[in-house]
Structure 1
Amino acid sequence: MTADLTAFLRRMASEPFAWGRFDCALTVADWWLANHGHDPAAPLRGTYATREECRAVLVREGGLLRLVARLAASAGASRLNEARPGAFGIVRQRDEHLAMVCTPGMRWAAKSESGIVAVAHPHLVAMWSV
C-alpha cells in the first residue's frame, strides 16, 4: 500500500456524495486508484446519477458483491481472510451490501448520502487487499 489511508479517509469525509462519481462503490475504486494509479471502475463512472440508476446498474451487474468481485479480480486484488487497515470489502448492513474500506482503527468506512458510515464489527461478506 502506497497511499496514505488516513488522508484518503479525510478526503472521503470531506467530498460531497454524488451518485456515479463519489458513492460507496466508487470509493473503494478510488482507494485502489490512489494506490495503483489505475481505476478499475472507470467504465462505470458517470453512467448513473441517481439511486434508481445505480440500482439498475447493480441489477445488470448481478449485485454489488459480484460487481466489486469482478472489478477486484480484473485489477489484480487478492482476497483476504482477515481484515487489516487499507483492505476493502463488502459489508452486509441491515438489508443491503456496502463497499467499505478498513480504517487504521479497524472500523469499516463507506461514503453515504449522509456523510460517512463507520462500522466497528461488520458482517463481512468478502474482502480484498489493496
Structure 2
Amino acid sequence: MAEGLNAYLARTWDRPFVWGECDCTLWVADWCAERWGQDPAASFRGRYSTQDEAEALTAGGLLETIRPFMGFLVEWTEARPGDVGVVMIDGRETAAIRTENGWAVKSLAGMGEANMPALAIWGS
C-alpha cells in the first residue's frame, strides 16, 4: 500500500489547487477512490467551483459534512500511512492523507506535510 500511496503523492503533488476539481477534500477523495474503490465525494463533484460555494456545502463543518460518506472505512484513533482524516490547520478543518512523516494536505499555497491534530481518522 505504501508504494501506491507514494505513487499517488508523486503523481498529484504538483497538481494545482482548483476549487471543485483538485482542492483539499477532492484530492483526498481521489485517493479514497484509488485506494479503496469508493469516492466519498461523488455527491459533491460538480456542485461547486469557488471557495464560497465549497463553504456553503460544508456550512456545518467539514467533518460533519463528510463523516456520513466515510462509512466504507473504519473510523479509529491511530493513523497509519494511507489513512485519511480531517485535521486542524490554523483553526480550519482540512481533509488530509496520512504519510510516514505526518499528514499531507493540499491548499491554495500548495502541498504540505506536517504533524497536525486529527479530528477524525479513517482507514481499513
Q: Same fold (TM over 0.5)?
A: yes
Show structure 1 runs of 4+ deviating over 4 A: none
2:27 equivalent in structure 1: 27
2:105 equivalent in structure 1: 110
* Structure 1: distance between partners of 2:2 and 2:32: 10
SS, match of residue 56 in structure 2: helix
* Structure 1: distance between partners of 2:65 and 2:122: 13
Opposite residue 126 of structure 1, the aligned amino acid is: A
Q: Deviations over 1:33-57 (max 9, x none)?
A: 0012232211211211111111111
* Match runs of 1:86-125 below 5 Å: 86-105=82-101, 107-120=102-115, 122-125=116-119
* Match runs of 1:45-60 below 5 Å: 45-59=45-59
Runs of 5+ unmatched residues, structure 1: none
Across the aligned residues of Structure 1 and Structure 2, the Cα RMSD in angstroms comes to: 1.6
1:65 equivalent in structure 2: 63
Contact 2:2 / 2:82 at 8 angstroms: preserved in 1?
no
Aligned residues: 124
Overall identity of the aligned pairs, in %: 38
* Structure 1: distance between partners of 2:61 and 2:104: 20
TM superposition score normalised by structure 2: 0.91
Runs of 5+ unmatched residues, structure 2: none
Q: Deviations over 1:51-90 (max 9, x none)?
A: 111111111xx210012211112xx110122111001101
TM superposition score normalised by structure 1: 0.87
